[in-house]
Chain A
């Protein structure tokens, strides 16, 4: 029952390990952006010693974890599924002997595991060696961080799945995806820690799944805030968004007409 999905996880991992040059190029870009982001935020911290509860080590830990997790969580959809909806190839995917959503999730988890090795570890190690860095105090934190990262990937996947499904109604969903991709960096806590925002904005953000995709795993790693509450917030959104994906897919499938043969 579960075996095929485990194979899909492995397939997702292997598929992405082929493009090593592309991964290395992406790694270089993440590192350059990390250096630039750190420069901006450290210029703030240097004046006050602390900004919104972040000292120099917290700030650089935040930036390097963010740059590393970015490729793991994938904030920017690749529209692969949406293009299959548009071209009609989705009919083949739906006819396969699998449940589409968990099958794609399995592949995405494989992809994320590969990204963890190639895209997450190097920039974080670079940041840890080159700049002040805050390692977790408790060994348990690493375990909880892994769990939180998996939940973040599930949430991100569920949202990307929903965005791709909009193609059933819009045909061309590029505009929707562009708006989403342009907003996530700010809303997830990639560019600036969410703690920098004024209280009302911060509270409003935590009613959405956005912080759960990036800021939460970073907070768990830095042992900042109530870990149990943060994980509960993630789990709640993961369940809600996966359920929403199932519902919308069922709707979309009923709408789908396969012409000819």
Chain B
């Protein structure tokens, strides 16, 4: 309980710190929103050329994109600062965290809560609202639950991917960009119908790294449409279970990595 209170106080001070420079904060948030809008522009430009992508109409792709965008923004908010892990290892700052009577991962997570990262989620939320307003999704209680739950479950899955791939830094300090392929790469793999990716890419980045469960399968349920790949119906509701499994794997990898860590000699 005391731990939680400490973390809450740390987080509060981080948030106040960012809001102290409002212009910088506004520009930063705008930058994040623009980063997310990039993919939106790609989708809109592409659909000026064709009517469907991987068997999905524009609004259907936009629904997948919106759910993925909100999820990514939330995950980035929670664990995005793990990108700095190589620096912490190199400078020896991580050793300080290890000596404190708090968990290392919670300390890293609360070390920086960048509210600007919600800029990404905001763009996703606006697109989601537009798709819902267009009436592509039946207003049933189950769908309402899916719409609220999917971004949270999706953020959990992406967050777990983030923790696993950043753990690589404990072995390869300069491998930061390696993690980017899976973390920032997921902005692409989760935002499109997985039917457009070739079989190997799909196995690796949609199932093994469970990107398909972030937005694609839940979107199939919301749209109540058949899967062009003919995958089992039950997968559309499997995201929460996948999230639990992903978190367990992430916890295991992280603990192994921290136990392996021997300091950078600083």
Interface residues of A (CB under 8 A from B): 19, 21-22, 25-26, 28-29, 32-33, 35-37, 39-44, 47-48, 51-52, 172, 174-176, 178-179, 181-183, 185-186, 191-192, 196-198
**Number of chain B residues close to chain A: CB under 8 A:** 42
Task: Kindly state whether residue B174 has any CB partner on chain A within 8 Å.
Answer: yes
Contact present for B34 and A183 (CB under 8 Å): yes
Contact present for B196 and A40 (CB under 8 Å): yes
The distance in angstroms between the C-alpha atoms of A176 and B42, with both chains bound, is 23
With A179-B27, A191-B42 already in contact, the answer to whether A44 and B48 are too (CB < 8 A) is no
Contact present for A178 and B27 (CB under 8 Å): yes
Contact present for B197 and A44 (CB under 8 Å): no
With A28-B177, A32-B181, A179-B31 already in contact, the answer to whether A44 and B41 are too (CB < 8 A) is no
- The answer, among A22, A29, A192, for a CB contact under 8 Å with B45, is A192
Distance (whole angstroms) from the CB of A195 to the closest CB of chain B: 10
Q: Which residues of B contact A32 (CB under 8 A)?
A: 181-182, 185, 205
Q: Which residues of B contact A21 (CB under 8 A)?
A: 172, 174-175
CB-based A-B contact count at 8 angstroms? 114
Nearest 7 A/B pairs, CB to CB: A175-B27, A178-B31, A182-B34, A43-B196, A32-B181, A22-B174, A21-B174
Q: Which residues of A contact B172 (CB under 8 A)?
A: 21, 25
Q: Which residues of A contact B185 (CB under 8 A)?
A: 29, 32-33, 36
Nearest B residue (CB) for A196: B45
11 contacts between A and B (CB under 8 A): A32-B185, A36-B197, A40-B46, A51-B50, A174-B24, A174-B28, A175-B24, A179-B31, A185-B38, A186-B41, A196-B46
Contact present for B49 and A52 (CB under 8 Å): yes
Contact present for A43 and B177 (CB under 8 Å): no
The distance in angstroms between the C-alpha atoms of A85 and B93, with both chains bound, is 25
For the complex, would chain A's binding face be called helix, strand, loop or mixed by DSSP majority?
Answer: helix
Contact present for A39 and B49 (CB under 8 Å): no
Distance (whole angstroms) from the CB of A56 to the closest CB of chain B: 13
Contact present for A197 and B45 (CB under 8 Å): yes
Nearest A residue (CB) for B202: A39
Contact present for A28 and B181 (CB under 8 Å): yes
Q: Which residues of B contact A43 (CB under 8 A)?
A: 53-54, 196
The distance in angstroms between the C-alpha atoms of A96 and B264, with both chains bound, is 34
**Interface 1/0s, chain B 157-184, versus A by CB < 8 A?**
0000000000000001011111011100
Contact present for A172 and B34 (CB under 8 Å): no
- The answer, among A40, A52, A198, for a CB contact under 8 Å with B192, is A40
Distance (whole angstroms) from the CB of A82 to the closest CB of chain B: 13
The distance in angstroms between the C-alpha atoms of A183 and B30, with both chains bound, is 11
Contact present for A19 and B188 (CB under 8 Å): no
The distance in angstroms between the C-alpha atoms of A43 and B192, with both chains bound, is 11
The distance in angstroms between the C-alpha atoms of A141 and B128, with both chains bound, is 46
Nearest B residue (CB) for A19: B174
Q: Which residues of A contact B49 (CB under 8 A)?
A: 44, 48, 51-52, 196
Contact present for A179 and B24 (CB under 8 Å): no
Nearest A residue (CB) for B41: A186
Contact present for B32 and A178 (CB under 8 Å): yes
The distance in angstroms between the C-alpha atoms of A17 and B75, with both chains bound, is 34
Contact present for B201 and A25 (CB under 8 Å): no
Contact present for B178 and A28 (CB under 8 Å): yes
Q: Which residues of B contact A183 (CB under 8 A)?
A: 34
Distance (whole angstroms) from the CB of B63 to the closest CB of chain A: 17
Distance (whole angstroms) from the CB of A108 to the closest CB of chain B: 20
Contact present for B176 and A25 (CB under 8 Å): yes
Distance (whole angstroms) from the CB of B193 to the closest CB of chain A: 9
Q: Which residues of B contact A186 (CB under 8 A)?
A: 38, 41-42
With A35-B201, A36-B197, A39-B196 already in contact, the answer to whether A26 and B54 are too (CB < 8 A) is no
The distance in angstroms between the C-alpha atoms of A179 and B63, with both chains bound, is 25
Contact present for B24 and A29 (CB under 8 Å): no
Task: Kindly state whether residue B52 has any CB partner on chain A within 8 Å.
Answer: yes
Task: Kindly state whether residue B35 has any CB partner on chain A within 8 Å.
Answer: yes
Contact present for B46 and A44 (CB under 8 Å): yes
Contact present for A198 and B50 (CB under 8 Å): no
Q: Which residues of A contact B177 (CB under 8 A)?
A: 22, 25-26, 28-29
Contact present for B35 and A36 (CB under 8 Å): no
**Interface 1/0s, chain B 10-51, versus A by CB < 8 A?**
000000000001011111101110110011011001101110
The distance in angstroms between the C-alpha atoms of A33 and B30, with both chains bound, is 24
Task: Kindly state whether residue B150 has any CB partner on chain A within 8 Å.
Answer: no
Contact present for A36 and B48 (CB under 8 Å): no
Q: Which residues of A contact B188 (CB under 8 A)?
A: 33, 36-37, 40
Q: Which residues of A contact B34 (CB under 8 A)?
A: 179, 182-183
Distance (whole angstroms) from the CB of B171 to the closest CB of chain A: 11
With A36-B201, A182-B34 already in contact, the answer to whether A175 and B26 are too (CB < 8 A) is yes
Distance (whole angstroms) from the CB of A18 to the closest CB of chain B: 10
Contact present for B197 and A198 (CB under 8 Å): no
Q: Which residues of A contact B156 (CB under 8 A)?
A: none
The distance in angstroms between the C-alpha atoms of A211 and B41, with both chains bound, is 16
